[in-house]
Every structure is written in C-alpha cells, then in structure tokens.
Amino acid sequence: MNDFFVSAMLLGALSTGGTMPFWSTANQGGIMPDNSGAVALLQAYKTFDDTKTFQWHAGASFAANWQPNDPLNPESSPIHAMADELYVGARWKVLRADLGAMHREREFLGSDLSLGSLSVNEGHIVESNNARSIPGYTLTLEPWAIPFTGKHVLISGVWGDYKTLDDRYMKGALIHRMQAYLTFDTGKHFYVRIGLDHYALWGGVGPNGQTMDINFKNYFRICTGRSAGSDGTISDQINCLGDHGGAEELRMGWRYDDFDVTFQYEKPYSDKSGMRFNNLPDGAYTLHFGLKDKDRWVSDVLAEFHYTMWQSGAKHEAETDAEGNVIPWHPGFNIFGGDNYFTNSEYASGWTNFGRSICGPLFFTKRYGDGVTRIYNNRYVAYHLGVSGKLFKFAPYRLMLTFSRNCGTYYEPLTPGATPWDTDWQWWEKNTWDKPLPQFSAAFNGFVPFYVGWSSRLDIVYGLYLDAGKVLNNCFGATLGVRFTL
C-alpha cells in the first residue's frame, strides 16, 4: 500500500464581478484568492498504515495566492503565502494524538476526496474547512465499543486546544474544543449517533489593553463551562467565562451492500437556552444517498435544509417562572433569546479565522469600519442540492446548487430601513422576517485524470461558478489549472 504522496497544483481564477463567486472560495481552507488571480499549492503527506497496530502520519502543505486587485487592502502585496497544513500524529488502536495545523474532517464526500464535501457545512456546522487551519493539539478516542454491549454501544470523542494567529479583536485568543458521541450500532444495517460538538474562545489581549489571563484556573472554568470570578466582566459572570458555542447532533444511517443512506440533524447553540433546545427548529438537516460504486455517472446525491431564524426568540431577556414572573439574576439561571450564533460582544471577531467563518460558509463575514471582521449574517433559510459522480465513468465532478434567504442578525438586519431591535420589539416581524434577501450560488467543478506512469497522475482541474442575488456580488467565475500527484 502506498501511504506517501506528493502533489503540486497551479490554478488560475477569473471572475466577471469584483469578487470570486461563493462556491469557488467556500470550504477551500482559506487559500483561494477572493478576487481574480491564481493559487499555487504544494503538498506532501504520509498517511496512516491501517495494517499496523501502531501507526503514524504527517503532512505539510504550503500555498500562495496572487490577486492583483484587492479592494479591501489596495496597498497590500498581491502575493499571499501561507502554511495550509503542517502536522504530525500517531495512532494506537482507538487512541490518536495529533500536533500542528490540520484540515477539519470532511463528511458526505462524493466521487473523489479532492472535490470536497457535498454538504454546505461538510457535515460539521461548527467547524468546516471554510477558514484556514488553526495550530494546536488534538487527542481523539475513535469509536470504542463499551464492554458487555456486544459491540453495539460505542463512545468516541475529541479533546483539543489551539491558538489563533490572525489579526483579531482579542489577539492571541485560545480555542478549546470538546466533542463527545454515543453510538448504537446494530452491526448490520442501522446505526444511530448522538453527540455534542463544543468550542470556547478564551484568553488574549483586547485593543484597549483588556486581558483574560491564561492560567490553569481560567482553563478549568473554560473546560467546565463555569462563570467568571469577581474579576471577570459582568457578562462572563452571568454566563460562562469566554465565548462558548457549538452544536448538538443526531445522525442515523442505513448501510447496505450497494449503497448507504444517512440523515443528520445538527442544531447550533450559543448559550444555555440553545443547549436546552429553546432554539428549535434551528439547525442543518442533511440527507445523503451514496452508492458504493463511485464510478457511476451519479454516485452520490445530497439534499440539505438550513434554518437559523429563531435563535430562541428575538429578545435577549431574563428567564421567567411558570407564572411568567421574571426570575432575579442568579448564576444558575439563564438569559434567553437573540442567540446570535457564532458571535460575541467581548470576543468581537467571533468564530472566524483570517477573515472567514470557521463554521458553515453561509454564515457570511465582513470587515467593519473598526477593523474587526465579524459574522454579519446568521439568520437565514437555505436549500441545497449536491450531486457527484464520474463523467463517462472516468472524470470525477461535483454539482452544488444553493439558494438562501438571508436576514442578517437580530441586531443588524440586512433589509434596508429596519428599526434597531432594542428600540422596537416588533421590527423583525415587519422587516427581516417577511423581506429576507435572496441569494443563489452554483458550482460545477471536477478534474480529468491522465495517468503518466510510475504511479503518477496529471489532472486537468476546472470549475464553473455563478452568484445571483442581493447579498453577494452578481458574477460568473471560472477556475482552470493542472495538478500533478506522485
């Protein structure tokens, strides 16, 4: 088995608008130019050898993109170099440890891994590959069967800590990640999994010199979801120390000899009210059908529905008792409404990295006048279709069709003329709820492989992209390049 390979790619990108279309840059690890330009990518990987008990892997990926006209930074250099991935890791049975910067795991793949996921969120609404990789360590427990359950009940999870390196509101902020899953598997056709995917931003230095100390005491509070002490801000004393968020997941799968069917529901949360399901029916609903034979004209079809409009209600208000009376503030109680997914007042950059959302790419970002990049659209409804296969049973392709209706946030609606939410509680009913801004994005991308001997392959890589609507620039874009793999 060949567990080592080297790949080099050179890709040109051209758009008729001021920016490249949505699907040409979304979930690309943050390496694609935002405007017409080009990207070069060099990769070297040593993958796990599953035939051995103790395994190791390593990877290095470096990219440079060129965009001669950057409207946001007209005086910046047109060439941007970056480390895409740089990591090493080891696995022993179901235990795994990784150190460095790695891409996030992709789910719901099509006919070829290099095409990416058919899902908008790549199966993970909390952390897709929409932004650049973040360095740190990750400890993983892969699915492990609980003794005396006949291998029908399995647990798995992730524990990790990472450091942000971008220019953000709280510079040097740390990230804590925790994932926990429980699976019931019949061992034949059906399985069901429930899980929690949680993150916390903490530590760092703000623009006015405000700091959150990085010490074991605060790390313990972050890991246990505890409130700040008396030296913390009022917000952190009421809620939890730092910026916490995540998603709760339900997945069901049916496995057959020739195909698999998977349904997944992921519900985001930004506080205790979301964790306690006050924000239903918000979430991403995914249905994927995949043939085992990936050489078919159509091997995989995915349908996805996103809804994030409710957010536990429009008003950020105190908890009430059964009679409707407001409960006086106490650390054990909660504040409901206006969840404002993946944003935070004190960690103003929110769940972003190098200007792009770490979560699903439909949570659009922009750079504000104060120089801070924030997520400005987290209330939306989206319908998505992904199709993959191989043209002439030889050339892998991916078709992505996404239509969304976008309202911005409760705090800053996209609809012109809307009244600020804290002065008129009914504005959302009259404006953003009834008048969202439509957006359609499409992509058809793939590659044509040519085998040139010595286990080498030369691919002609292409992509056609379209944006039409009232949120992103209306434009048509195309990419064309070559990739050599040894």
In this structure, are strands 54-66 and 259-269 parallel, antiparallel, or unpaired? unpaired
In Å, what is the CA distance from 129 to each residue of 97, 124, 237, 315, 360? 20, 9, 33, 32, 8
Q: Which residues touch 161 (CB under 8 Å, ≥6 apart)?
A: 136, 137, 174, 175, 176, 177
Contact 192, 152 (CB under 8 A): no
Cα(126)–Cα(361) distance, integer angstroms: 10
Contact 144, 91 (CB under 8 A): no
Residue 19's closest CA among 78, 75, 72, 79? 72
Q: Which DSSP letter does residue 407 get?
A: -
Q: Give pLDDT, residue 208.
A: 85
CA angle 450, 453, 459 (to 5 degrees): 25
Q: Which two tokens stand for residue 305?
A: 């529905």
Q: Where are the alpha helices (DSSP H) in 309-464?
A: 427-430
Contact 258, 292 (CB under 8 A): yes
Q: Which residues touch 424 (CB under 8 Å, ≥6 apart)?
A: none
Q: Give pLDDT, residue 237.
A: 58
Cα(227)–Cα(215) distance, integer angstroms: 15
Q: Is 283 helix (H, G, I), strand (E, B) or coil?
A: strand
The type of residue at 318 is A
Q: Which two tokens stand for residue 474?
A: 């209306």
- How many C-beta atoms surround the C-beta of residue 46 within 10 A? 14
Cα(59)–Cα(251) distance, integer angstroms: 30
Q: Give pLDDT, residue 73.
A: 65
Long-range CB contact pairs, 223-227, < 8 A, 24+: 223/176, 223/178, 227/331
Q: Which DSSP letter does residue 326 get?
A: B
Q: Which DSSP letter does residue 346 get?
A: S
Q: Give pLDDT, residue 428.
A: 42
Q: Mean pLDDT in runs of 10 for the chain (486 residues)?
A: 87 93 97 95 96 95 88 74 97 97 96 96 96 98 96 97 95 96 95 97 89 89 77 61 93 96 96 77 97 97 96 66 57 63 92 96 94 94 98 97 94 68 43 75 97 86 97 96 96
The answer to whether the peptide bond before residue 281 is cis (omega within 30 degrees of 0) is yes
Residue 373's closest CA among 99, 132, 111? 132
Contact 238, 263 (CB under 8 A): no
Question: Per residue in 166-178, is it b (16+ CB within 10 Å) or e — as a string?
Answer: bebbbeebbbbbb
Cα(314)–Cα(422) distance, integer angstroms: 10
Q: Which two tokens stand for residue 344?
A: 């935070």
Contact 199, 246 (CB under 8 A): yes
Q: Where are the alpha helices (DSSP H) in 285-407?
A: none
Cα(185)–Cα(193) distance, integer angstroms: 8
**Could you tell me the residue ranges of all domains in the chain?**
1-87+449-486
Q: Which residues touch 37 (CB under 8 Å, ≥6 apart)?
A: 12, 13, 65, 66, 67, 68, 78
Q: Indicate the helix (H) or strand (E) that contains 439.
A: strand 437-453
DSSP assignment of 131-156, as one string? S----EEEEEEEEEEPTTTTT-EEEE
Cα(426)–Cα(408) distance, integer angstroms: 16
